[in-house]
Amino acid sequence: MDEHGDAAGTAVRTGPGDSGRTPVKYYQVGSFAVGNRLVALEQRTVQADPERSNALTSGHRACQGCGEALGARYVLDAAMRATGGKVVAVNATGCLEVFTTPYPETSWQLPWLHSLFGNAAAVATGVAAALAATGRDDVRVVAQAGDGGTVDIGLACLSGMFERDDDVLFVCYDNQAYMNTGVQRSAATPPGARTATTEAVGPDPGAPFGQGKDLPRVAMAHDIPYVATATVADLFDLEAKVETAMAVHGARYLHVLVPCPLGWQTASADTVRVARLATESGLFPVFAAVDGQVTSASRIRHRVPVEAYLRQQGRYRHLFPSEDRPGRPDVVARIQAQADANIARYGLLADGDGDGDEDGTRPPGSGVAGSGVAP
């Protein structure tokens, strides 16, 4: 169990001065609130620290409620904390690159290099090789890309980086489409979702079933030391996984689900909620794997049907009935079957049916088995 999960777990189980008294449950301590003042300083997220590095600082041009901006900020500040501020970031082309560097401004307060759309992993390999060759072993490398820059055009370079076990943490911010170019389908776009190239028209509206790549599993097939998934709904867990990743050398992969209000047609204020519904429906399994083997999965606390997740998003609107269309319950059922399969594959439900939170005290980042995995 990682430092954060362990510490938080201890903190929530008993109140102070517990000798002989009934333990007090602090429900808030087990919440997802990032600035929680009920927990000790070291258990709060990096973002609660006024001295944080602000690797991705304010002033960038992301849309309101952009999950990618949120995710990148947490990832990089956590990596900065884990390395004493010694991080070089390599960025693929995509929203994150564009909205952070409108010429002549930059939001990056760490050394940052953007080369091309499909080569972030290889560029990061070059950075790591140069650091090794010039004796700067204290500096670490994080590469980042959207789902397109990861699972599609960036896959060859990424697979090469994995296979050589280069000392790079590669982070995919998965918003499930090519957002920067106007919401086209990528191989990470889920079935049924409307994109500009999988329109909600014809007999099978939205993205097709039976296609797409599951990159965390592809990464695991390379037997690299650490693979994990996370979402912006559980930022404690995201930070813990970054810290775990930075404690290891070699090729590491972090796949972060980051809702995109523009592409998903969700309210800007709902980014975190939608991400949570993705995990609580079972559609996006949150887990960690060491040396190619799954070692932990975050259990679902309040299981919801996929419909609760899908209904939040305009990209699935065509699946639900309205005056002018009957809806597609058959498609919703197929998506539900995918969620059920994920739940079975990763054991996402606790002993019961997952419809309740057994004691309400489990810190979100820890899951049952602990989400951040000490390798």
- Binding site residues, ligand SF4, CB under 6 A: 62-63, 66, 68, 95, 99, 175, 179, 260-263
Return the one option of ligand SF4, other proteins, Mg ion, none that residue 164 interacts with (CB less than 5 to 8 A, by type): other proteins
Binding residues vs Mg ion (CB under 5 A): 146-147, 175, 179
- What whole-number distance in Å separates Cα of residue 174 and Cα of residue 216? 11
Site membership for other proteins, residue 218 (CB under 8 A) = no
The residue (of 134 and 322) whose beta carbon lies closer to other proteins is 134
| Alpha helices per DSSP H over 164-318 | 215-220, 235-246, 261-264, 271-280, 306-310
Q: Which residue has the tokens 């602000």?
A: 54
Binds other proteins (CB under 8 A): choice among 24, 40, 130, 344: 130
Residue 186 has which token pair? 């990528």
- Applying CB under 6 A, the site for ligand TPP has a residue count of 19
Give the nearer residue to ligand SF4 in terms of CB position, either 11 or 145.
Answer: 145
Query: Among residues 54, 180, 231, 296, which is the contact residue for ligand TPP, using CB under 6 A?
Result: 180
Which helix (H) or strand (E) segment holds residue 123: the answer is: helix 120-133
Distance CA 358, CA 360 (A): 6
> Between 50 and 89, how does the x/- string for binding to ligand TPP read (CB under 6 A)?
------------------x---------------------
371, 16 contact by CB (below 8 A): no
Q: Which is nearer to ligand SF4, 255 or 328 (CB)?
A: 255
- 96 in contact with ligand TPP (CB under 6 A): yes
Amino acid identity, residue 282?
Answer: G
**From residue 323, how far is each of 204, 279, 294, 326 by CA, in Å?**
19, 31, 45, 8
Beta pairing, strands 169-174 & 112-114: unpaired
Q: Give the tokens for residue 159.
A: 């697979």
For residue 85, the partner it binds in ligand TPP, ligand SF4, other proteins, none, with Cβ less than 5 to 8 A by kind, is: other proteins
Closest approach of other proteins to the CB of residue 231, in Å: 27
Range list of β-strands (E), 148-204: 169-174
Residue 168 parent element (H or E): none
Q: Minimum distance from CB of 37 to other proteins (Å)?
A: 31
Query: How far is residue 154's CA from residue 215's CA, in Å, rounded to a whole number?
Result: 12
Report the interface residues with other proteins, using CB under 8 A. 85-88, 90-91, 97-98, 101-104, 106, 108-116, 118-119, 122-135, 139, 156-157, 159-160, 163-164, 166
